[in-house]
A and B are shown apart, each in its own frame.
Chain A
């Protein structure tokens, strides 16, 4: 009996030893992989830094302006063409002709709606 339990313990100890050894190896392998990944990340960050600088360089306002002139229509947007939402005429609602505001249908007549302010036509 004593011999059998001794053998069992011995077996267990051997198994534990082998497992420990394998785990240890696995951990080492993963650490190596981690290190490799870390240095790769640092390399990539360096590359990103270079790309950021290049992006900023390519986004020089002077260059963008030149490209716009080159590739878009020759008519620059007129600053007076800007409008805000509340300068637009009021929309009709979905089910019919009734405008959203009450003031617009006094006596059943649709009144002229707010129009964008004109700031003098450019020459």
Chain B
């Protein structure tokens, strides 16, 4: 390959240089300057554009929000945390639900639109709907809170002028079942009662579900059996509690009549009232559990002791007599078994009013219970504590406590003597249980044997759920009427049971308000006839769920553990193995 070099000298020089002089030259110079200025302006503009392109495409600008970062928080916030039962079943949740509204201006044919809509929402009145769709407003609610399916169906109708607005709504999938425990939240998701109110701020801030100690299955059993008793004995209400004796967790708590928290408009005041925690009642004979435990623990009497219950006690204008009168000397186990008021009064008088008051105070019967509800009843206790009060309190009159108090107190009597405040929240399995000792271990064992005696041979026979060793005490209190006089016909029949009595796991309390006797109960409306059968069925149905295995009630070791010596009046003691 050869290069042809061109020498600078080879280029022929122009023969002539054209020189333009004068005005011609001036014009040319001017043109060149203009070209230069225009060129540099364009160059500058291109530079600016280039810089801007780099700026826009390469550098991040604050004016352009980074969307990915904005929604990187993936936690689904509903505005209010869920509430679940001890097994994680949903009790309350917040959903964002669509509500249907119309813009009547863009509804083309109101009649057709109304007819189409009514195929999906047949509950809407045709006239009403027509009037709404034909009005000349720009916004009108058709129906609030639709289900997703309804929304889908309405969208499929393809009616113009119908729109959806998302709203958050508190839903209670279990409806009535946990109504009094969960309570309800009103508009704007503000807690109005129950856990919804007491844990309002926690629920509003948190996204973790709140776990309760309630077991939905036991709750259902309790509610159903109480309802059965109300229907059978024509009661005006009922309350029931199932409580873990060791942890004092409330596994089930029911108050009837109840309400459906999903239907805000149909709630009556009577249904809202929580009989289990807010109502305080004179509990009647179930208090003899505490009276006997107190006397045994202070040592003023023993299981082999006894009192003369042959004559009613007269004090001031009152007469204290026995319902199941035996009219003879009764041993302590017999006083408990036959629920003798006279014997109980004498037992309490031996202990004395001051010590009785201290005992009640230790049990928490003089202050509101500890459960996590705003509806907590304050007990009614006498002040000053007169001897007549000591006498009536021994058999459960003259002091009014809530069913939660009672169940919690009984748990302390049978679990070895330790009182732990009742709770509605699930305790962590490693939580250190703090409690206060109220009675001695031996006293608690004696109370357990006495409770079994009542179910085997006394007033609580109807509560005997075979295989589960139920022990318990009946209670039948007359309700005070207007003016303070007791009404013989208005009763509060209750039964508080524990099972299995050899090593109690659960306390079951059933209480029916103003039951009326019927044929099946031979006209009786007492605790033994009204509440005890309910407890029996509750134990039978709930025990397998609570993992309590049935045992052979006649096994010798169980017989021996529950044996109670009943002293004979004459002094020669008979061995009784009830």
- Partner-A contacts on B (CB < 8 A): 57-58, 66-68, 71-72, 74, 76, 78, 89-91, 93-96, 148, 171, 173-175, 177, 216-217, 219-221, 224, 466-467, 540, 543-544, 549-555
Contact = CB atoms under 8 A, between A and B. Distances in A.
A88 to B, nearest CB: 14
A44 to B, nearest CB: 9
B89 A56 contact: yes
B90 A53 contact: yes
Interface stretch (A4-12, A95-103, A112-120): A112-120
B173 A118 contact: no
Contacts of A45: 76
B220 A62 contact: yes
Contact of B89 (A32, A59, A82, A84): A59
A68 interface: no
Contact of A61 (B58, B220, B554): B220
A79 B57 contact: no
B551 A53 contact: no
Nearest to B224: A62
Nearest to A62: B220
A26 to B, nearest CB: 13
Nearest to B553: A119
A56 B90 contact: yes
Contacts of A65: 220
B503 to A, nearest CB: 16
Interface in A50-90: 50, 52-57, 59-62, 65, 79-80, 82, 84
Given A21-B57, A31-B68, A61-B220, A119 B540 contact: no
A80 B553 CA distance: 12
Given A38-B71, A61-B216, A80-B467, A20 B58 contact: yes
A20 B466 CA distance: 82
A110 interface: no
B61 to A, nearest CB: 13
Given A56-B93, A60-B174, A60-B177, 9 more contacts: A24-B57, A38-B71, A49-B76, A52-B93, A53-B171, A61-B177, A62-B224, A65-B220, A117-B552
Interface string A25-56: 00000011011001101100111011011111
B153 to A, nearest CB: 16
Contacts of B71: 35, 38-39, 42
Nearest to B467: A119
A84 B549 contact: yes
Interface of A: 20-21, 24, 31-32, 34-35, 38-39, 41-42, 45-47, 49-50, 52-57, 59-62, 65, 79-80, 82, 84, 117-120, 122
B544 A41 contact: no
A79 B93 CA distance: 35
A56 B178 CA distance: 13
Nearest to A84: B549
B171 A119 contact: no
A117 B555 contact: yes
Contacts of A62: 177, 220, 224
A120 to B, nearest CB: 6
Contact of A119 (B90, B175, B552): B552
Contacts of A54: 173
11 contacts: A21-B58, A35-B68, A38-B68, A38-B71, A47-B148, A54-B173, A59-B89, A61-B221, A79-B540, A119-B552, A120-B553
Which of A24, A32, A60 neighbours the largest number of chain B CB atoms within 10 Å of its CB?
A60
